[in-house]
Amino acid sequence: MTYSDAEIWTIIVIMGVGTFVIRFSFLGLIGDRPMPSIVLRLLRYTPVAVLPGMVAPLVLWPGATDGQTDPVRLLAAGATVLIGALTRNVLWAITGGIVTFYSLAGLTALI
């Protein structure tokens, strides 16, 4: 399916307006009012929910065309979760995941 330049720009503009309306409805309309404590408590968990949602597809299906799962990515993700659970430190978890990923990728390149 191919789109013309005008259709692509129309889609971009509509999505931009939609994004603005969604954000304005939250920030512009109720931004100056105090939020209930339950809402503030639930908003603290937003990054915790968004990050795995962004990372999981890259770990489980890195090559979307072939649909194959990469064991190196799975092991690096597991190491990241394990290090994060043990140390309770995000930077150590990220560093451990990166080191695991590149170490295993280097080993598999040698084999």
What do you get for the CA distance between the two ends of the chain, in Å?
Answer: 41
User: Does the pTM exceed 0.85?
Assistant: no
Helix axes 71-87, 46-60, angle to 10 degrees: 150
Within 1-45, residue ranges assigned H as helices are 5-30, 37-43
- SS3 labels along 32-100: CCCCCHHHHHHHCCHHHHHHHHHHHHHHHCCECCCCECCHHHHHHHHHHHHHHHHHCCHHHHHHHHHHH
The whole-number pLDDT of residue 12 equals 96
- Bin 33: left if φ > 0, else alpha if -120 < ψ < 50, else beta: beta
- For residue range 29-83, list pLDDT tens digits in order: 777 788 889 988 988 888 888 888 888 888 888 776 566 788 899 999 999 999 9
Greater confidence (66 vs 17) lies with: 17
